[in-house]
Structure 1
Amino acid sequence: MTLHPIAHAHAKPDHPAVIMAGSGAQMTYGEMDQAANRFAHLLRSRGLKPGDAFAVLLENRIEFFTMIWGSQRVGTMLTPISTRLTAPEIAYILNDSESRFLVTSTHFAEILPDIRSACPDMELLVLNSGDEEDFAAELDRHSADAVADQIAGLTMLYSSGTTGRPKGIRPAPPEDPDPEAPVPLIGLATMGVGMPADGSIVYLSPAPLYHAAPIGWCSVIHRLGGTVVMMEKFDPEAALKAIETYKVTDSQWVPTHFVRFLKLDPEQRSGYDLSSHKRAIHAAAPCPVPIKQEMIEWWGPIVNEYYAGSEMIGMTLVNSDDWTAHPGTVGRAIHGIVHVCGPDGEELGPDEGGLIFFENPLLPTYHNDPAKTAEAMHTKGWMTLGDIGHLDGEGFLFLTDRKSHMIISGGVNIYPQEIENLLVTHDKVMDAAVIGAPDPDLGEQVVAVIQPVDMAEAGDTLEHELRDFLAPQLARIKMPKRFDFRPDLPREANGKLYKRELRDEYEARAAG
C-alpha cells in the first residue's frame, strides 16, 4: 500500500483531508490533489527548478496544504514564515532564503506595503486579493493533471529567532527523490506512537502550520490517509470542543497548551466527551513534571512525548508508562545516537549534565551561515540543538534548559527552566519567563516576568505569595531578585518564548 495523499486521492477522493475546526470548511483528498497539481504547474511555469525556494506567509487556512503538497511534486523548497514577525524580519527571510516569490493573504494587508518596499522585486500571490495578484485566479490558469517527472520537495524552516536573527535550516536532500517514498516520521507515527495506517485517524492540529511540528505531523497524517482538523487559533476550551465534535483520535501539543488546559475551571474541563481521543503527542519544550502528571491523570496513559528540533538531527520518544517510571524524561533515542558532552567535548557518564549532541549520518546546515553550522558541530561530527541535559543509566534523556538561556549570577550558573516550571504550577500564574538582567554587582540578576491568571491580582501581595511558594523548593541563589507582571508574554503560538525580546528590554533599561 502506498502511503501518500496521491494514492488516497485515487482510492477515496471524497474523504476529508482537512477540516477547519472553527468554520467546519473542508477539503477532500480529491480536491487537495487537484489543487496541489495546479500549484506544481504554477511553480514550474515561474521557472522554479528543484531546490529553488518560495515563501509562504499565511494564517492557518486550508490553502496552505495546496502549497505543501504542490511543492512536494516538483522538488522545490517551501519556506514557511512565522506570522508573528515584523515586515523587516519577513524581508530578511525572503532575501536570505532567496525565495522566488511569496504566497500570502489579505490577512497581512497592513504589513504588505512594508514588505513590498523592502523587497521591491519580490512577486506576490495574495489569497482573496481579487486583483492581478489573486492566488485562486492564478491557480485556476493551470492544469489539474499531475506533472511529469515528479520529485520530492523540501521545507526550509527558519529558527524562531529567540536568541538573534532567525536562521534557515537547510535539510539534507532526501535519500529517495520519489515524492511517494516513505519518510522517517511515518515510522515514529505508526511504530512509535501506534497510529493506524488505515485512514481512520482524525488528527487535531492546534498550532500554526508554519512551525516544524504541525507541518510535519499534518503531512504524516495525510500520508496515512487520515483527516487533519486544524484550529484557526488555539483556545483551550475550543480544543476540547473540537475533540468532541470531530471525534478526534490523535493530537499534538506543547506544554503551554497543557498549562492553559489545566487553568480552565473544572466544569469546563469535564464538559466535553473526549472518549474518541486515543493518542496525544507533545514536544517543543520541557514539560513541568506536575503539569504532565495532571494531564496523564485527566486524559489517561495516552500522552506520548518526543524531543527533536526543526533540524531533525535526532529524536527521542517516551510513552506515559515509561515517563511515569522516569518522571521528567523526554525518552530514549529512536533516531540518531545521543551523546552528552562537557565543555571540553569529552563524553560524560550517566547523570552528568552537559551539552546534548546527536550522531546521525544525515545532518542539515544553517543556510548562508557556515559559522553557525560549525558552532553546532562536535569534532566527531555530531550536532547539537543547544540544549543542556543528561542521560540516566537506562538511556533515558532528561533536559535541563537551553544553553543560551543560562543565567550567570555571582559566578553561579542558573537554568531558568527550573524556576519557570515551578511558577506555572501556581494557581494564580498563567505564564512565566525567567531571564538574566544586567546587575552591576552580580553580573546578572534573576528576574521573573509573570503573566497572572487575573491581572488585577498583580502586585506586591502576589509577589510575596510567589516568593513563599518558591522558597521551600528553590535554592536561595536561584530565587528571583525581581518580579514583574504583565498581561501577556512574547510567546509564539507554537510555544516558543521570545526571551530575546525581554532581555533586550531589560538591557535597554539598564543602559538608560
Structure 2
Amino acid sequence: MSPTTRELIVRGARQHADRIAVVFGDRQLTFAQVDELSNRLARALAEVGGTHRRRVGLLVNNSLLSVPVDFACVKAGINRVPLNARLSAAEHTAMLTDTACEVVVFGADLTDRARELAAALPGVAFVGLETSLGTEPTLMERAAKAPATLPEVAVEPDDVILTLFTSGTTGTLKAAQHTQASYAGICRNVLLNLLPATREDVMLHAASLIHASGVFVLPLWLRGGRTVILPGFSPDPFLRAIAAHGATAINLVPTMIQMLVEEPSFTTTDVSTLQRVIYGASPMPRPVIERAMDLWGRERFWQYYGQTEIPLCIAVLRPEDHAGDRLAACGQLAADIELRLLDDQGREVADGEAGEIVVRGPSATAGYFNAPELTAQTYRDGWIHTRDVGVLDEHGFLFLKDRTSDMIISGGYNVYPREVEDALLTHPAVREAAVVGTPDPRWVEAVTAVIVPAGGATGDDALRAELTAHVTAQIASYKKPRRIVFRDAVPKTAVGKLDRKRLRADLADR
C-alpha cells in the first residue's frame, strides 16, 4: 500500500522543519510553520462544518495561505472544491449547487463575490480566511485559538480530497475526483518523470495553484524545496521574480511563454539559476518555442502532455528531443503510465496507425462527481479514454493528431463551443451561432464565432462589440469570441447537425 497524500505532507514537515517552504511577496513560512498553521486550520474548518469527507468550496486566489489551506483540507480529510476566481457568479453558483457544498472558504480579495454568492445560496456558510461577511470569526481567528497538533482523522486511500471542475464535451460542467491515493500518485509521477526535486530547488508559481501549477507543491514539499507564489502572471514582474528568488523551475502554458518572449526584458533577464522551464496544457506554436530556446537554451525546456483525469504527465518531451520533427510530439510515455491506441471498435491499432489515446496509472482520478453516464464513457475497465487521437512512432514518441471532442484550448484554458454558442444565442440579433477554434499566433487557438444574424440585424463591428460584451456578462471572459464572422448560413451535416470540421476547414482556407 502506497502512502496517502496526508502522510506525504506529514513526512515532508518532519524532514524539513526549519527550512523555508513558502514565499509570497516579502512574507515567508517555514515547513514547521506551514505544518502547524495547517493543523490549526484543519481544526478551525471542523468548527464550521468542514469535517471528514465533507465538500468545502475554496474561493481563493494565490496567496501566502494557499498551501496551508490546501494542506489543512487534506489533513482534515475534506473534499475540497476549488472555484476558479475568473469564472462568473452563475458558474460558481452552479458548481456549489451541483456538489452540495455546505461551506465555502473565501479570500479577502474575493469578499464581494462571496457576498454575491451568499445571497444566492442562503443555505451555504461563507467563512472568510481573513475577512468576514458578518460578525462571525474569520477562519484565521478560529485557527489562532485551535490546537497546533495534527487532527486525528481516519483517512482512507480512496477518500476523495479534491473535486476539480472542468467543462464537459458539450460545455456542461464535470468534476474529476482525486483521492488521497491518486493525488499522492501525482506527486510520484512528477518526481519520477518531470521534476526530480531537491532541497535546492525553488519553483516560481504565477498561474493559479488550483490547477496544474499546484501539483508541483507537494513534490517540492516532500524533497525540501521552496515554493514561491506570485498573485498572478504579468511578464515583466515574472521575469524579475526569476532572478530575485533564484528560481530553478517554472511552469507555464504556451501563451505565457509567448508573452514572455515578446517582453523586452526577456533577453536581459538573469536566468543563471533556472534549470527547468516546464510547459504544457495546450499545443505550443513552433516559432514561439524556437525563439524561447534560442534565447534561453534548449537544455531548459520540458514539455508534458496530460489530462485533468490523469495528471500530470502521460508523456514528456525532454530537452534533448526539442529538435526537428520531434518538436511536434508530446514526448515519450511517462514511466508509471500505460497507454494503448484504440480504433472505433475498441481494438488496438497497428504500429504507426492513429487511434484514441487510452491510459491508466496511479495518478488517475476516481471518475466524475455525480455523473455516472459520463464516468462510464470515460473510465472503462480501469482505463481512461482521453478522446484524443494520437500516433506512436518507432521510437515511442507520441504525436497528437486530432480530438474526438470539439474542445478549444485557448491560452491554456479549455473552452467548449456549446457553452459559448448558448450564450450567443440568447442575444436577439443572433439567429444561428457556431463556435470553433482557429489557429492564432498568441492564443494557439482563438475562439471564433460564426454568426447568422437575425432578421433586421446588421453584421458589423458594432454588433461584434455588442456580442462580445453579451457573452462576457454570462461566462468567463477568457471564453469570449476573439473573432466573429457573419455568414448567411453555417454548414450542416446530412442529418442537420452543425458540421464543425467543415467549418474549421472553411475558416482555415479563408
State TM-score, norm by structure 1: 0.75
Pick aligned residue for 2:105 from 83, 103, 106: 103
Q: Is the 8 A contact 2:52 2:153 kept in 1?
A: no
Given the superposition, is the C-alpha separation of residues 486 and 368 from structure 1 closer, same or farther in structure 2, using an over 3 Å criterion? closer
1:217 is paired with a residue whose SS is: helix
1:365 CA drift (Å)? 1.0
Task: Give yes or no for the alignment of 1:276 onto 2:269.
Answer: no
1:349 CA drift (Å)? 3.2
Q: Distance in 2 between matches of 1:141 and 1:510?
A: 65
Q: Is the 8 A contact 2:62 2:232 kept in 1?
A: yes
Which amino acid is the alignment partner of residue 327 of structure 2? P
Q: Distance in 2 between matches of 1:203 and 1:39?
A: 25
Which amino acid is the alignment partner of residue 309 of structure 2? E
Q: Is the 8 A contact 1:74 1:150 kept in 2?
A: no
Which amino acid is the alignment partner of residue 175 of structure 2? G
Q: Distance in 2 between matches of 1:507 and 1:158?
A: 33
1:61 CA drift (Å)? 0.7
CA RMSD across the alignment:
3.8
Which amino acid is the alignment partner of residue 241 of structure 1? R
Q: Is the 8 A contact 1:55 1:99 kept in 2?
A: yes
2:124 match: 122
**Structure 1 residues 431-440 or 243-252, which shifts more?**
431-440
May I ask how many residue pairs the two structures share in their alignment?
439
Q: Which runs of 4+ in 1 moved over 6 A?
A: 484-487, 503-511
1:99 CA drift (Å)? 2.0
Q: Distance in 1 between matches of 2:130 and 2:320?
A: 48
2:100 is paired with a residue whose SS is: coil
Q: Distance in 2 between matches of 1:280 and 1:250?
A: 6
Task: Give yes or no for the alignment of 1:136 onto 2:149.
Answer: no
Given the superposition, is the C-alpha separation of residues 392 and 436 from structure 1 closer, same or farther in structure 2, using an over 3 Å criterion? farther
**Structure 1 residues 137-146 or 150-159, which shifts more?**
150-159
1:355 is paired with a residue whose SS is: strand
1:285-344 Cα distance to aligned partner (Å, 9 max, x none): 111222222222222212111111121177111201123251211112213322233334
Given the superposition, is the C-alpha separation of residues 304 and 485 from structure 1 closer, same or farther in structure 2, using an over 3 Å criterion? farther
Task: Give yes or no for the alignment of 1:310 onto 2:312.
Answer: no
State TM-score, norm by structure 2: 0.76
1:386 CA drift (Å)? 2.8
Structure 2: gaps of 5 or more residues? 409-416, 418-434, 454-460, 491-510
1:226 CA drift (Å)? 1.0
2:62 match: 60
1:468 match: none
1:224 match: 223
Which amino acid is the alignment partner of residue 304 of structure 1? W
1:398 CA drift (Å)? 1.5
2:340 match: 339
Pick aligned residue for 2:163 from 139, 151, 156: 156
Q: Is the 8 A contact 2:40 2:143 kept in 1?
A: yes
1:192 match: 193
Which amino acid is the alignment partner of residue 481 of structure 2? L
Given the superposition, is the C-alpha separation of residues 259 and 509 from structure 1 closer, same or farther in structure 2, using an over 3 Å criterion? farther
Pick aligned residue for 1:147 from 141, 147, 151: 151
Structure 1: gaps of 5 or more residues? 176-181, 409-414, 441-457, 459-481, 491-495
Q: Is the 8 A contact 2:41 2:140 kept in 1?
A: no
1:181-235 Cα distance to aligned partner (Å, 9 max, x none): x9333444433235343x2110011201122x12211222112211111111101
Q: Is the 8 A contact 2:360 2:382 kept in 1?
A: yes
Q: Is the 8 A contact 2:187 2:218 kept in 1?
A: no
1:31 is paired with a residue whose SS is: helix
Q: Distance in 2 between matches of 1:270 and 1:123?
A: 49
Q: Distance in 2 between matches of 1:17 and 1:432?
A: 37
Q: Distance in 1 between matches of 2:106 and 2:124?
A: 12
Given the superposition, is the C-alpha separation of residues 318 and 234 from structure 1 closer, same or farther in structure 2, using an over 3 Å criterion? same
1:260 match: 259
2:450 match: 437
Q: Distance in 1 between matches of 2:166 and 2:42?
A: 26
Which amino acid is the alignment partner of residue 134 of structure 1? T
1:257 is paired with a residue whose SS is: helix
1:346-366 Cα distance to aligned partner (Å, 9 max, x none): 333344334322144755211
Which amino acid is the alignment partner of residue 71 of structure 2? W
Q: Is the 8 A contact 1:16 1:227 kept in 2?
A: yes
1:238 match: 237
Q: Is the 8 A contact 2:169 2:406 kept in 1?
A: no
Q: Distance in 2 between matches of 1:507 and 1:364?
A: 43
Task: Give yes or no for the alignment of 1:17 onto 2:11.
Answer: no
2:258 is paired with a residue whose SS is: helix
